[in-house]
Every structure is written in C-alpha cells, then in structure tokens.
Amino acid sequence: MHVKASAMNVPIPTALAYPPHTIQDERGEVVGIVLSQDDYRLFLRVLATHVDWEALPPYLQDAIDNMLADEALAEGGKPRPFRDLLAEDQG
C-alpha cells in the first residue's frame, strides 16, 4: 500500500505532549529548545510536509531523512526498487 504525505495528513499542532524547555545564554536570550522525542518527530513531520525542502538547513534535512529511514526500517517487509514504486504510482 502506498501512502502519500499530504498537508491534510499532518496538521500543524496546537499543543505539545510535554512543555518544551528553553536553553538560555548568560544574557537570558533563548539559544535552544528541548523537546520530547514525540514532539520532535512531530515537528520534523510538520516541516517535511509544510516547508519547502530547499529552504531547510542541511541538519534538518538530515534529521527528516533519518526519521523517515527509521520508519521504513520499522515497517519491515521486503525492499522494493524505487523505479517500481514510481511505475506503480503512475499506472
């Protein structure tokens, strides 16, 4: 079964599972945010669905690639060549 990610499948969340923690520098400026693993995966999924891929910095592209690879490995099953999947999608 082939499932396409669409903006309707990945809504922009209005709340997180756990409140994020901020990281501040010595001047009190926020320099980072700590999210739960579930919220981080949701954040990556929202970015992958709603943001232009080329606009993302390489580290976020890598994080999304890694998340998708982990999900593919977790699915199990026999790998299929990409050209076969494209032909199936067009057929």
* Alpha-carbon gap, residue 69 to 65, rounded angstroms: 6
Give pLDDT tens digits for 5-38.
Answer: 554 566 666 677 778 889 999 999 999 989 888 8
* pTM score, whole prediction: 0.63
Report how far apart, in Å, the C-alpha atoms of 17 and of each of 12, 22, 49, 63, 72 are: 13, 16, 20, 20, 24
Domain ranges of the chain: 21-90
Residue 20: closest CA among 44, 50, 40, 45: 40
